[in-house]
Structure 1
Amino acid sequence: MSSPVPLRLLRLALGALLIALTPAAPAAPGGEPIRIGVSGPFTGGSNPMGVSMREGIRIAVDEINAGGGVLGRPLVLLERDDEARNERGAQVVQELIKEGVVAGLGIVNTGVALASQRFYQQARIPVITSVATGSLITKQFLPPQHPENFVFRISASDTLQAAMIVEEAVARRGLTRVAIFHDATNYGQLGREDLERALTEHGIQPVAVERFQLRQADMLTPLRRARAAGAQAILTYGIGPELAQIANGMARMGWHAPLIGSWTLAMSNFIDNAGPNAEGARMPQTFIQEPTTTRRAAFLKAWREKTGTERIPVPPAAAQGYDSALLLAAAIEQAGSTDGDRIREALEDLRAPVEGVIMTYDRPFSRTSHETITDTGDISMGEVRNGQVVFAYEDDRRRAARQ
C-alpha cells in the first residue's frame, strides 16, 4: 500500500500547478532605460494644452512599460517646462539632448517649435510634435538643403484648420463679411496668413484684420472697428485667455456674431473665463471627449484613474500626446535600435498599424510626408455647449465612431 503524500509536498505540487496554469504576466522591462524628452508649457497661459499633452504621454508610457517596455527596456520621460517662450524652448531642448534623449515628444507653441526643433534636427534626433499646429513646422528642414527631416507631427496643421474655419463661415453659413482676430505670436501671425489664403480661395477678403498682444485685456476697441466694418463673424487665431476677452467683449457690446476659430477655442481657460459667452463657439478638433469607440473609452478611463479628474483641460492635446508616444515606441521597436537615423527611417516606414485614440495609424508617415493628418476628413468640428466641447455635427460623431 502506498504511503500518504505529506501535506507539505501536496501544497507544493498544487502551487506549482497553479503557477503553470496562470497566464504569464509581461516581464517587467529591465536594462538601461530609454530616455525620451518631453517639453511643453506646463505653466502660464498655454499650460492647459501642455499639461493635457504631458498627461496623455505619461498614460501611454505607463501602458508601454506595463507591457514590457520597448526592446525589453523601460521608457523614461525627461520633462521640461518651456514656458511657451521661444528662447526657453531652445534652451530646454539643448539640455535634453545633453542628457541623452533618443527622441523628443511634445512642443505646443508654434514659435517654440520653430526655435527649438532645429537642435533635434542638428543632433539627428527625431521629434514628434504632439500639439503645435503651424503649417511650417514639418517643412523647416526639407531637401535639398536638408537631405533628412527629423521633424514629424501628429496634430492638424493650420492649413487644414483654416480651410475648415472658412468652410464653416462661408460655405455652411453663407457669410461673406468676416473679421480676423489673431495674436502677435508666430502662431497667430501664421494662422492669419492661412486664414487669408483660405478666404481668397472663396473670393473673399476680410473686412477687418485685428492683431492683439498676449495678456491684452481691452478687446472692445478692435471689436468696435470690426463691427463698424460690417463683420458678420469673427475668425480667431489665439489662445484661451485672450479668446475669452474677445467673447466677453462681444457680450458687453451686445454683439452676437459667430465666433469661429482654431482648435484653441477648446481650451479650458477660454471656456472657464468666458463662461456663458463661450457658448456656440466652434473650432476644428482632432479628438472630442466622448467614448465613441472602445479605445477612446479606455483612454478616458485611464485619464480618470491617472489624474483623478473627469475633465481633460484640452482633450485634443491629451489624445495627441498619447498617440505620439505610441507611434514613437512602435518606431523604436521596429528599428530594433535607439539610433536616431534608424528611428527616423522606421517612422517613415511603420509596417504595423498602431491603434491610437485619434485613429488607427496605418503607415502614417513617409519619407516625403511627416504629417499624420493630411485631410480635413480626419478632423471634426467642435462646439462649446453647456461649458464643454461636443460634436457640432452628428455626421462627425458617426464618422468618429467608425475610426
Structure 2
Amino acid sequence: MKKRFFRFAILPLLAGILVGCAELNIGTALRNDPAAPGPVKIGVIAPLSGGNRFYGERMLDGVQLAVEELNNGRGINGRKVELLVRDSRSEPERAAELVRDLNDAGIVGLIAGYSSDEVLAIAPEARRHSLPTLVPLATSSEIFAGNPFLFRNTFTGREEAKALAGYAWYWRKLLRIAVLTDAGPRGGYSREIGREAVRSFTALGGTVVRAAEIQTDDPGLEAVLRDVLAAAPQGILIPFETSEAALLVRQLREMGYQGLLFGGDSWDENRFLRTCGAQPGDCAYIAFYSPESDSPENRLFRDSFRRTFYRYPGSCEAQGYDAVKLLAIGLSGTRTLEEFTTNLLAVRNQPMAAGLITILPEGKLDRTVYINTIRPAGRNNPEPTGRTSKSFLLSKLDQFVN
C-alpha cells in the first residue's frame, strides 16, 4: 500500500496539531451522548477518487461491513450507526475541509486516513472539533505526536522498520544488509523505514554495508546497484512504493543477486506480485493482515466479507473494519475524551480481524504483524503469490532484546 508523505507539509501542519497542547483538558466533552435519541453519526474520510482511489475504496468496504454488523447487533450505546462518507479526492487540503463539513453534520467520531499527508492535514481539525479519530492505514510516526484525539490500529513506519530489522536478524540470521531508499519528493515513507531500519539493525549487532538513496528513473541507477552488490550484503531492504519496489526486485535479480530482498507493507499488493517477475527469488515483506489466519475473528470477517463483496479481503479492508470496531469500543458509554481514552486503553490483546491489538498510552500500541514470503510462478499459479510465513506481536521484539 502507498503511504505518500510530502515532507514540505510536515512543519506547518504539525505546528497546528501542537497549538494549545498545554491547555487541553483530558475531560474535554465530546458530542457523543450515550442517551441521545437517533443514530450515532460516524464520519469517514477516504480517497475515493484521485491517485489513491483503489485503496480508499477497499478501506471503505471494510468500514461498511463493520457498520452493518454493528447495526445488526446492538449498534453503539443501543443506537444504530449512520455512516457519513466523504471523498478526499486524494487531496490533503480537501480532507481538512471535510472534517469541518462532517462536524457540522453532527458526527461524534471519525475514521480517516489512507495516506499520512491526509491524516496530517486532518489532525488539527479533529482536535479543534473534539472528534476522536481512528487511523487505519497511515504509517508516518510524525502524525501521532501530541494529539490526544488521534488513535490508531496501524503500525508506524518506525515500528515497521523495527519488525523488518528483527526478522532479518532473529529469524533469517543475517549479519550484513544494504538499505535502498527513495530519494524522490514522495519518498518520505521509504526514507522513514530505511532510516529506522538502519538504526534498529545496527542496534541488534548487524552491519549495514551500504545505505543509498536512489531514484528508479536515474540513468546512473545500475552503477549504484552494482556498488551495493559489491559490498556483498546478505539481504537488501527496499521499502519503496509498490511499482518501484517491483521494478527494483526485477532489476536486482537480472543483475544476478541471489540474497534476500525484503520490503514494507507497500509490497502487499497484487500489483507488486504481477510486476516483480515470475521468479523473484527469496523475498519477504511485512503486512497488516493475513487471509490465512485461522482465528475465529478472521474467519468471521473473511467469510462475511466474501458473502457481501464476492471477493476475499486484504489489508485495507481488514484495517478499515477493525478501526470501526475500535471506535465503537471507545464511544461506548462515553461523554468525555478521558472516558473514550480509558475505554481504548482497556483493549488488551483484543482478537480482531487483523490479529491481536493492545492500545497503549501516549499513542502507542502493540499488535500482530505478518511477514509474507513469495511463492514463484508455476503450473498452478501463473503469477507469484504471497503467503504468510511468520506472525508475531511487536512486543516480542523487545522481549528478545531484553
1:220-252 Cα distance to aligned partner (Å, 9 max, x none)? 565344334544432122321222222232244
In structure 2, the partner of 1:208 is: 211
Looking at structure 1, the residues matched to 78 and 253 of structure 2 have their Cα atoms a distance apart, in angstroms, of 57
Kept after mapping to 1: 8 A contact 2:242/2:271: yes
Counterpart residue identity of residue 208, structure 1: A
SS of structure 1 residue aligned to 2:366: coil
Q: Which residues in structure 2 correspond to 1:283-362 (within 5 Å)? A: 283-310=285-312, 312=313, 315-335=314-334, 337=335, 341=337, 344-350=340-346, 355-359=351-355
1:39 counterpart = 2:45: yes
In structure 2, the partner of 1:384 is: 374
Kept after mapping to 2: 8 A contact 1:106/1:321: no
In structure 1, the partner of 2:167 is: 168
Cα distance, 1:106 vs structure 2:
3.4
In structure 2, the partner of 1:111 is: 117
Kept after mapping to 2: 8 A contact 1:181/1:237: yes
Looking at structure 1, the residues matched to 68 and 150 of structure 2 have their Cα atoms a distance apart, in angstroms, of 24
Counterpart residue identity of residue 379, structure 1: V
Looking at structure 1, the residues matched to 240 and 167 of structure 2 have their Cα atoms a distance apart, in angstroms, of 18
1:62 counterpart = 2:44: no
Q: Flag the 1:234–1:99 CA change in 2: closer, same or farther, 3 A.
A: farther
Q: Flag the 1:173–1:383 CA change in 2: closer, same or farther, 3 A.
A: same
SS of structure 2 residue aligned to 1:245: helix
Q: TM-score, normalised by structure 1?
A: 0.75
SS of structure 2 residue aligned to 1:381: strand
Q: TM-score, normalised by structure 2?
A: 0.75
Q: Flag the 1:41–1:209 CA change in 2: closer, same or farther, 3 A.
A: farther
Looking at structure 1, the residues matched to 348 and 163 of structure 2 have their Cα atoms a distance apart, in angstroms, of 31
Cα distance, 1:96 vs structure 2:
2.9
In structure 1, the partner of 2:154 is: 155
1:57-103 Cα distance to aligned partner (Å, 9 max, x none)? 11111100111422233222222333444334333334333333221
Cα distance, 1:342 vs structure 2:
6.0
Counterpart residue identity of residue 59, structure 2: M
Q: Flag the 1:189–1:84 CA change in 2: closer, same or farther, 3 A.
A: farther
Between 118-127 and 169-178, report the one with greater CA deviation: 169-178
Counterpart residue identity of residue 276, structure 1: A
Q: Flag the 1:204–1:257 CA change in 2: closer, same or farther, 3 A.
A: same
The count of residues paired between Structure 1 and Structure 2 equals 347
SS of structure 1 residue aligned to 2:333: helix
* Aligned partner of 1:371 among 348, 355, 364: 364
In structure 2, the partner of 1:235 is: 237
Counterpart residue identity of residue 325, structure 2: L
1:146-170 Cα distance to aligned partner (Å, 9 max, x none)? xxx1111111222222122122334
In structure 2, the partner of 1:7 is: none
Counterpart residue identity of residue 389, structure 1: G
Cα distance, 1:105 vs structure 2:
1.1
Looking at structure 2, the residues matched to 185 and 97 of structure 1 have their Cα atoms a distance apart, in angstroms, of 32
Cα distance, 1:132 vs structure 2:
1.4
Looking at structure 1, the residues matched to 209 and 118 of structure 2 have their Cα atoms a distance apart, in angstroms, of 28
Q: Which residues in structure 2 correspond to 1:83-162 (within 5 Å)? A: 83-141=89-147, 149-162=148-161
Kept after mapping to 2: 8 A contact 1:131/1:320: yes
1:104-157 Cα distance to aligned partner (Å, 9 max, x none)? 11312223222322211222111111111222332243xxxxxxx111111122
* Identical aligned residues as a percent: 22
Q: Flag the 1:299–1:227 CA change in 2: closer, same or farther, 3 A.
A: same
Counterpart residue identity of residue 340, structure 2: R
SS of structure 2 residue aligned to 1:114: helix
In structure 2, the partner of 1:27 is: none
Q: Unaligned 5+ residue runs, structure 2?
A: 1-35, 377-383, 397-402
Cα distance, 1:285 vs structure 2:
2.6
Q: Flag the 1:220–1:41 CA change in 2: closer, same or farther, 3 A.
A: farther
Kept after mapping to 2: 8 A contact 1:49/1:267: no
Looking at structure 1, the residues matched to 340 and 391 of structure 2 have their Cα atoms a distance apart, in angstroms, of 38
Cα distance, 1:290 vs structure 2:
1.3
In structure 1, the partner of 2:283 is: 281
In structure 2, the partner of 1:24 is: none
1:260-314 Cα distance to aligned partner (Å, 9 max, x none)? 111221122212232525564212233211141222111111111121123x3xx
Kept after mapping to 2: 8 A contact 1:349/1:365: yes
Kept after mapping to 2: 8 A contact 1:125/1:150: yes
SS of structure 2 residue aligned to 1:108: coil
SS of structure 1 residue aligned to 2:365: coil
Cα distance, 1:392 vs structure 2:
1.7
Kept after mapping to 2: 8 A contact 1:289/1:390: no
Looking at structure 1, the residues matched to 261 and 374 of structure 2 have their Cα atoms a distance apart, in angstroms, of 11
Looking at structure 1, the residues matched to 104 and 214 of structure 2 have their Cα atoms a distance apart, in angstroms, of 38
Looking at structure 2, the residues matched to 333 and 168 of structure 1 have their Cα atoms a distance apart, in angstroms, of 38
Q: Flag the 1:253–1:205 CA change in 2: closer, same or farther, 3 A.
A: closer
Q: Flag the 1:291–1:235 CA change in 2: closer, same or farther, 3 A.
A: closer
Kept after mapping to 2: 8 A contact 1:120/1:126: yes
Kept after mapping to 1: 8 A contact 2:43/2:107: yes
Kept after mapping to 2: 8 A contact 1:240/1:265: yes
SS of structure 2 residue aligned to 1:373: strand
Cα distance, 1:209 vs structure 2:
1.7
In structure 2, the partner of 1:181 is: 181
